[in-house]
Amino acid sequence: MAAPRTIRQIRCPICLSPLSRRPPRPVLLDEAGNRQPFVPTNPRDPVLTRAEEMSAFQICDGDGSVDAHHLPLRYAHYGEPLVVGVIGAGATGKTTLLAAMIGSLLTASQTNRLPLQVDALDLRLHTNFMSRYVNRLLVQREVLSITRVGSVELADALRVHSPATGRDHAVVFFDVAGEQLENAERQNRFISAMNALIFVVDGEELSHRRSQRGAQTAGDAAFEVVLNRLAQVHGYTPNGFLRLPSALVVAKSDLLRFYSDPDLDRWFSYGDAEEFDLSTCEEESRDVYRLLFQRGHGYLRGAEKFLRSSLHFASATGTAPDDSNRYAAEGFGPRRTLKPLLSVFQMAGVLG
């Protein structure tokens, strides 16, 4: 008799309760958050049903310590979801980077520049993220507000289809306040649900450091909290690595360009097309490694602890905000924000 195949249980990313024990209870939510049962208009029409399901949720009852909450109805429909955590201390640029990343991803998908098709897994969450973050940043050029410390929710939920494999993947993102990440013990169960990481290093902070002295004491409490938690949950390989894909991003790199470092400048001299070429990830990783080794050695743990990782320079905005809390039109635009995400997709097998 063949050995039973072990299927990894899909868990709720908020409370970690197993989801696959019984079929989801589909509901619709009105503006006030009131539920009503979801019934497809015509279950024999798969296209219509799929469109309607984008607006439906499933209830997760929690586990006693967390109140009942909602997940995208199709959260567990495509196999194990990719749960991407954006990690870094307060004001390192996480939310701005994620908004620029997702904006760039959708634009590239809509203009057929990607070997992927991207749409919403959860229409309400996605529309909210687009209007509150992506459009505010990329269209209105507004400085985004700092993330509130509070109940943990998904930032966005996408469905990514790879024509190369014919597979769909649910891809969801966590973006919580840096302050919350640094305080490990409060409501941080969601860290255990993450299976892909984007570590964010503040380029502005690095720009103030000139010597190794700063670099040796560097390190980041948020990184450490997450690394410790992930090690407890996933364990290490025999060689002491975490198996999850990780991309480490030096955000706000526009502020580092002042130093005219040729290793950094050359990545910004390339046109946007270079971002789709993942064969240069290793070379860019070496340049970022060198810079961090000199200016912020502690941050390298976001890459060194992982079996597969890449390091990147990026600027979500291309330029610093002015006194009116907006970014001037001149020089504004995301630069090199898509590549780290594509690199994670490649490491996680989403690209095919």
Q: How far is the CB of 31 from Zn ion (least distance, A)?
A: 22
Task: Give the span between the Cα atoms of 51 and 188, in whole angstroms.
Answer: 33
Question: Is residue 106 part of the contact set for Zn ion (CB under 5 A)?
Answer: no
CA 107 from chain centre, in angstroms, equals 17
Binding piece for Mg ion, criterion CB under 5 A, among 3-11, 93-101, 224-232, 302-310: 93-101
Q: Which of 54, 56, 60, 316 binds Zn ion (CB under 5 A)?
A: 60
Binding piece for Zn ion, criterion CB under 5 A, among 8-16, 142-150, 205-213, 312-320: 8-16
Task: Give the span between the Cα atoms of 65 and 99, in whole angstroms.
Answer: 31
The greatest distance separating any two alpha carbons of the chain, rounded to the nearest whole angstrom, comes to 71
Q: How far is the CB of 187 from ligand GTP (least distance, A)?
A: 15
**Helix (H/G/I), strand (E/B), else coil: 334:** coil
Question: Is residue 12 part of the contact set for Zn ion (CB under 5 A)?
Answer: yes
- What tokens appear for 321 in the block? 């905000």
Question: Is residue 178 part of the contact set for ligand GTP (CB under 6 A)?
Answer: yes
Residue 175 burial (10 A CB sphere; 0-12, 13-18, 19+) = buried
Question: Is residue 104 part of the contact set for ligand GTP (CB under 6 A)?
Answer: no
How many residues make contact with Mg ion (CB under 5 A)?
3
Q: For residue 123, what are the β-bridge partners?
A: none
Please give the DSSP secondary-structure letter assigned to residue 313: E
Binding piece for Mg ion, criterion CB under 5 A, among 43-51, 141-149, 230-238, 308-316: 141-149
How far from each other are the two terminal CA atoms of the chain, in whole angstroms? Answer: 32
Task: Give the span between the Cα atoms of 46 and 181, in whole angstroms.
Answer: 41
Task: Give the span between the Cα atoms of 104 and 339, in whole angstroms.
Answer: 10
Task: Give the span between the Cα atoms of 228 and 184, in whole angstroms.
Answer: 10
CB burial readout 81-109, b (16+ within 10 A) else e = bbbbbbbbbbbbbbbbbbbbbbbbbbbbb
Q: How far is the CB of 174 from Zn ion (least distance, A)?
A: 13
State whether the Cα torsion 91-175-128-333 is positive or negative: positive
How many residues make contact with Zn ion (CB under 5 A)?
5
Partner touching 92 among Zn ion, Mg ion, ligand GTP, none, CB below 5 to 8 Å by kind: ligand GTP
**Nearer to Mg ion by C-beta: 58 or 95?**
95
Q: Which of 14, 98, 160, 251 binds Zn ion (CB under 5 A)?
A: 14
Partner touching 106 among Mg ion, ligand GTP, Zn ion, none, CB below 5 to 8 Å by kind: none
Please give the DSSP secondary-structure letter assigned to residue 257: G
Q: Which of 109, 147, 195, 309 binds Mg ion (CB under 5 A)?
A: 147
**Nearer to Mg ion by C-beta: 266 or 326?**
326
Question: Is residue 285 part of the contact set for Mg ion (CB under 5 A)?
Answer: no
The position carrying tokens 């996408």 is 158
Q: Which of 13, 88, 103, 302 binds ligand GTP (CB under 6 A)?
A: 88
Spatial contact of 75 and 19, defined as CB atoms under 8 Å apart:
yes
- What tokens appear for 72 in the block? 């995208």
Q: Which of 92, 95, 180, 337 binds Mg ion (CB under 5 A)?
A: 95
Binding piece for ligand GTP, criterion CB under 6 A, among 26-34, 284-292, 311-319, 343-351: 311-319
Question: Is residue 254 part of the contact set for ligand GTP (CB under 6 A)?
Answer: yes
Question: Is residue 96 part of the contact set for Mg ion (CB under 5 A)?
Answer: no
**Nearer to ligand GTP by C-beta: 90 or 298?**
90
**Helix (H/G/I), strand (E/B), else coil: 175:** coil
Q: Which residues bind Zn ion (CB under 5 A)?
A: 12, 14-15, 17, 60
Q: Which residues bind Mg ion (CB under 5 A)?
A: 94-95, 147
